[in-house]
Structure 1
Amino acid sequence: MDGRKLALGDVERAREDARARATESEWMPYLPPASAPFAPADVEPSSLRWAETVAPGGYTHLRVARGTRIRLEDPHGDACAHVLVFNAVNPAERLNVADTQKIPWQAYLRDGHPLLSGDGRVLATVVADTSGRHDAFCGTTSDAWNEQKYGDALPEGPTPSGHGLLWLAASKHGLTSRDLPPAVTFFQGVRADAEGSLVWHGSAGAGTRVDLRAELPLILLVANVPHAADPREDYVVGPLRVIAWTERPTGEDDDVFFASPERTRAYRNTIAYAELAGL
């Protein structure tokens, strides 16, 4: 009996010690999201579902319902969000960058731009954008690129690659490296010049944001790492904020629905798929 009491006392002391050592980090989710110091003032607190600050060289992953609105914020001007989206019901349906540029007849991501899959459906829509500095040409950084430029690419090291972090995020959802298509990048812009060369334009500055609307249930993967075209020698990237709240998917009362015949067809394909599947 005395031995049992001693063991119980040891467990209780260990628990108290562990709780005393508990610390909070700025690179963490805020629960409930309404308690986040950067919770949007224009969003009803009860609708908030997620709020997180992603560290420089960090990643996050979310599974969100159809109609969820996801806000990405660049608080200091050096965030670089490399984003992949998958149909959460069937992850074989995923972001197709070529169709994302081709269907809207626009290579540059901006307000109103749909992110399409290869199945002719809209996975997400850019519904607000105060940055205008994005990229759908270069994809994210590879291990080989980071090893050549920075000398290291390990996810737990000081200079992780975007692909390595997206792979880690994907693994949380049963996906592998083979499942990762080219990503789109927000907050660090690339433009094609008159000769067709890609030119890095960098950030629009601190305090900009991009809002995405989930048109289907989605798996969202985000890596916050420097852009491959960033000419700076150092591994320069700032924190990234991610906030998600309940809203509604795009419908016929939204201007983007009828922005072009191709977009209308894609949105109708998406709605039909969702309604038939009971999503």
Structure 2
Amino acid sequence: MQSNPSVDFDLPPIPHVLWETVLPAGTHWSGVLRRGLALRVVDLEGGANLAALFYRQEDPLERYNMADTLKAQHTARFTRGVVLYSDMGRVIASITADTLGWHDPVGGVGDAGLFATKYGSARYQEHRNEMIRNGRDSLLVELAKYGLGARDLVANVNFFSKLDAAEDGSLTFAPDHSRAGDAFDLRFEMNTLAAFSSAPHPFDPSPKYQPKPVKLIAYRAYSVDDRVPADDPCRSSCAENERGFVNTERLFV
């Protein structure tokens, strides 16, 4: 069987860890990630899902655009070499390393109604940290910290998850896709507001609410004044990406 060329079986060493944190199962996180910073994101137990949204920090009206990202790169899966585009044709972030070969950009995020139907109800008042948190409300909690709300929700990325497409276009969740220790590196090409939720994928067929934790490790990939080189795998993967990087760099001239 031929191996997937987009999969890194051994991730490159991190030169210097700036900070790290664990996002517990079923919780949420947000923060500003500066240009040139990178995150290594690790599935600690296997079976994780990380719903993610991205906005330009200085002007959140510019945000990740799923449709443009897929069209520009002729792909419906995210892995090493894929970049995430904003709705202004600029590159928000690049996937520079990946042990999985497939992350889901189309499955969306579960809301309170879906989670109540699948998992029932478990409120904080009775269950404390075992409460059930849905992905949509989790992301909204984080966005509210920056003056953003429901109208700012766009199509999200689901890292560590995979959907299989049938001939009729129907989508099926791929179980056991991500295993303990699987990871990817996400390099930020502009100052980015990121919001994450570790709630289960909305297509996950499990009747039990079993979210999993992920680890975030931040490191410096390049200086803010540097230019991503022409032979960078993300920049050189297609002509559209070269133009996207040029558009992005003009923000920092």
Counterpart residue number, 1:208: 182
Displacement, 1:216? 0.1
Structure number with greater Rg is 1
Decide whether the 8 Å contact of 2:80 with 2:234 is kept in 1: no
Return the letter of the residue paired with 1:185: N
Distance, in Å, in 1 between the alignment partners of 2:228 and 2:144 is 30
Counterpart residue number, 1:43: 14
| 1:242 equivalenced with 2:220 (yes/no) | no
Deviations 1:35-56 (A, max 9, x none): xxxxx993233xx332111111
Instruction: Name stretches of at least 5 consecutive residues in structure 1 with no aligned partner.
Output: 1-39
Give TM-score, length-normalised by structure 2: 0.87
Return the letter of the residue paired with 2:156: A
Counterpart residue number, 2:58: 89
Distance, in Å, in 1 between the alignment partners of 2:228 and 2:167 is 36
User: 1:135-150, aligned counterparts within 5 Å?
Assistant: 135-150=104-119
Instruction: Name stretches of at least 5 consecutive residues in structure 2 with no aligned partner.
Output: 1-10
Structure 1 segments (4+ residues) deviating >4 Å: 153-157
Counterpart residue number, 2:246: 268
Q: CA RMSD in A?
A: 1.9
Question: Which is bigger in relative contact order (C-alpha 8 A, separation at least 6)?
Answer: 2
Distance, in Å, in 1 between the alignment partners of 2:152 and 2:123 is 20
Return the letter of the residue paired with 1:114: V
Give the length in aligned residue pairs: 234
- Shift in CA distance, 180/207, structure 1 to aligned 2, threshold 3 Å: same
Give TM-score, length-normalised by structure 1: 0.79
Choose 140-149 or 61-70, whichever is displaced more. 140-149
Decide whether the 8 Å contact of 2:96 with 2:233 is kept in 1: no
More helix by share: 1
| 1:166 equivalenced with 2:125 (yes/no) | no
Distance, in Å, in 2 between the alignment partners of 1:95 and 1:253 is 24
Decide whether the 8 Å contact of 1:224 with 1:240 is kept in 2: yes
Distance, in Å, in 1 between the alignment partners of 2:235 and 2:122 is 41
Deviations 1:87-118 (A, max 9, x none): 00111111111111111011111111111111
Instruction: Give the secondary-structure state (helix, strand or coil) at the position aligned to 1:141.
Output: coil
